[in-house]
């Protein structure tokens, strides 16, 4: 554990940089949430994800069916 000050976002998570140059968000309980290529995207997507965990995720805007609809 380092003595450097940790920045907590929304008092819910922090972001650390992995040894591969990616950014990982970590909740206060130590659970890793999101891995992203930039600090900004990691913060933005983690906020969206944690809000979805609390309030429910939005319904998809469209659906996808893998069926072709043609008999071969």
Q: What percent of the chain has pLDDT over 70?
A: 86
pLDDT at 3 over 60: no
What pLDDT does residue 12 have?
A: 96
pLDDT in tens, 39-71: 999 999 999 999 999 999 888 888 777 777 666
Q: Tell me what the pLDDT averaged over the chain comes to.
A: 88
What pLDDT does residue 8 have?
A: 95
DSSP per residue, 24-68: EEEETTS-EEEEESSHHHHHHHHHHHHHHHHH-PPPPSS------
Kindly list the domain boundaries of the chain, sorted by start residue.
Answer: 8-55
Q: What percent of the chain has pLDDT over 90?
A: 69
Q: Which residues pair with 8 in a beta bridge?
A: 14
Which has the closest alpha carbon to 43: 17, 30, 25, 56? 25
């Amino acid at each position: 554990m380092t003595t450097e000050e940790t920045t907590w976002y929304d008092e819910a998570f922090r972001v650390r940089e992995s040894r591969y140059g990616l950014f990982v968000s970590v909740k206060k309980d130590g659970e890793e949430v999101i891995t992203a290529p930039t600090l900004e995207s990691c913060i933005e997507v983690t906020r969206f994800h944690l809000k979805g965990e609390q309030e429910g995720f939005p319904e998809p805007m469209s659906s996808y069916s893998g069926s072709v609809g043609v008999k071969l």
